[in-house]
Amino acid sequence: MPQNWFVVASSRSENRETSEALYMTSGFVYDSAEQAAAAFRDEIDTFVYSRYGNPTVKMFEQRLALLEGAEACRATGTGMAAVFGALACQLKSGDRVVASRALFGACHAILTKILPKWGWRLS
């Protein structure tokens, strides 16, 4: 384990808890409509919606990257998001995917219903 695994920017609240709080929210508050619009256009570095990221996930990603000696880490909210992300980052239009028919139902749906919309085919 790297010696500096614990050297990650702290996200502790004003309550000074001994470890970072778990953020169970789905949305975030903005000081103005203009700030919210900029956040949703990805013009400012702030959280928008928990499916895209939140302080809990950010801390996990930072610590896992340090533990693994990686430059960065990305975490997903669900296993299906991880499956989709793993496929989507590797495939381009026209590619064919070879898969067993005995896949988990949702994985099969990704391969037969979602990916074909982008020109990928299941073999």
Map out the domains of the chain as residue ranges. Answer: 1-75, 79-122
Structure tokens at 70: 């990686």
Average pLDDT over residues 53-77: 89
Note if the pTM is more than 0.75.
no
Q: Residue 96 pLDDT more than 70?
A: yes
What is the C-alpha separation between 114 and 123, in angstroms, rounded?
Answer: 15
Residue 63 contacts residue 11 (beta carbons within 8 Å): no
pLDDT average, residue stretch 98-119: 86
Q: Dihedral (C-alpha) 83, 88, 92, 96: value to the nearest 10 degrees?
A: 20
pLDDT attached to residue 66? 92
Percent of the chain scoring above 70 in pLDDT: 91
As a whole number, mean pLDDT of residues 18-22 equals 80
Contact 26, 49 (CB under 8 A): yes
